[in-house]
Chains A and B, each alone.
Chain A
């Protein structure tokens, strides 16, 4: 269980998040929806411990997320960044197997490569991609490789930051379907940052709508069509 309690964050005196609380129950998939600049990515960074909140705290399994507990939390977490954030100097398989090559429980390069090829197959990337560098791949393929890296080691918690931004609609739907399948197969808890309603319907069980740094609406995906909220209706109408 991951819990955020009364999170607040400002940049240069401008409040970005105000009094945000949420519970992520094991095995659930939450979509954080909102317009650009409403603090969605900041919320994800705070949840991951990459950014310290000005107020409030993050609890993982009831214990506060601190410097000391952060590394253990990251070992159980997979993240897909908005631009995939693959390491330019490494090949795709080295990116995917990064934890196995550099983490505390290291494997030999041959074992790590085998594991990376398996992960690449799960995201529908051919073995020939393994020895290429990120710059040789299209945006969609980079996202798939980023997904493969995120699911290595079967994490319990997955965060997807704008997983289909910058992709064409067909590839975006493919990535959504892939995320749904992977989260379901792993039985992981997921948090997806998005402003794409089709993605929300495909990926999430519950939705949190952020507006001007505050929670504007929260509920199950099944209820978004009947929710009486002007901003949510505008998202639905797009």
Chain B
């Protein structure tokens, strides 16, 4: 190959690899979604996954939301003062948390906490032949391992987002009333009146989509892990990176879908 064509070949190989990966992940996602009804056979696995994805994520999601809501209120107030518009703090905090920061931060926190742990767990199971053992015990690994976790992500992420939204709004409320001189009752009323059903629907829809992305990519990376400890490490890195990027991309797409002019 001539030196002129080498960069083109490099780009071509990279593109081909990327397209193949997107195709693999898409087929994997479809295979998992088809198996969701079959998770009724494994209620313990579904409960265990819901605990891992939802319940145990509450502390980190809650703290992140409260601090972000508080910081957002301070920022909006500081910025608003320059335009003599400090009164908009409740509205901007409400819309900022419910439409954007709540779901995105919950999605990213789950990608950091849950995607990494699921990818590591399933990759270790693959490396130690536990997935082969499942097959020899007449159990489909996709139905037993992936589908319950994806179902847990789909169901618990919207709930986590709802909790994150409430706590984020509370963070803004606490700072606004304790430090910025807003009256508690008026703050709550203004926030509540400003939010629409579409805002809340978008927030929860984002939660479900982010849950699907975070957990499906974790299961895909785990089940396709390479050999040894290095394979486990690579699976975790790949899953978390892909999940974070895809969550942010999906956020733009969903926002455009709901609120494009």
Contact = CB atoms under 8 A, between A and B. Distances in A.
Interface string B26-41: 0000000000000001
Contacts of B75: none
Contact of A74 (B42, B128, B130, B137): B137
Interface residues of B, number: 16
Mostly, the B contact residues are helix
Interface in B115-153: 124-125, 128-130, 132-133, 135-139, 144
Interface in A49-92: 50, 71, 74-75, 77-79, 81-83, 85-89
Interface in B220-246: none
A71 B138 contact: yes
A98 B135 contact: no
B199 to A, nearest CB: 39
B17 interface: no
B132 A102 contact: no
A28 interface: no
B13 interface: no
B42 A50 contact: no
A170 to B, nearest CB: 25
Contacts of B125: 87-88
Contact of B137 (A45, A82, A102): A102
A107 interface: no
Contacts, number: 49
A50 B135 contact: yes
A81 B139 contact: no
Interface of B: 41-42, 48, 124-125, 128-130, 132-133, 135-139, 144
B139 A103 contact: yes
Given A87-B130, A102-B42, A102-B144, A79 B48 contact: no
A79 B41 contact: no
A104 B133 CA distance: 16
A3 interface: no
A85 B133 contact: yes
The 3 closest A-B pairs by CB, nearest first: A85-B133, A85-B129, A79-B136
A133 interface: no
Given A74-B135, A88-B130, A99-B138, 20 more contacts: A50-B132, A50-B135, A71-B138, A78-B136, A79-B136, A81-B129, A82-B129, A83-B128, A85-B129, A85-B130, A86-B130, A87-B125, A87-B130, A87-B133, A88-B125, A98-B137, A98-B139, A99-B137, A102-B41, A102-B144
12 contacts: A50-B136, A74-B138, A78-B136, A85-B129, A85-B132, A87-B130, A88-B124, A88-B125, A98-B139, A102-B42, A102-B144, A103-B139
Interface residues of A, number: 23
Most buried by A among B125, B133, B136: B136
Given A102-B41, A102-B42, A102-B144, A81 B132 contact: yes
A48 interface: yes
B49 to A, nearest CB: 11
Contacts of A50: 132, 135-136
Contact of B128 (A85, A89, A149): A85
A232 B225 CA distance: 36
A125 to B, nearest CB: 18
A50 B132 CA distance: 7
Contact of B136 (A77, A89, A104): A77
A103 B136 contact: no
Most buried by A among B125, B132, B133, B139: B133
A81 B133 contact: yes
Contacts of A86: 130, 133
A104 B132 contact: no
A74 B140 CA distance: 12
B139 to A, nearest CB: 6
B138 A103 contact: yes
Contacts of B135: 50, 74
B128 A103 contact: no
B106 to A, nearest CB: 25
Contacts of A82: 129
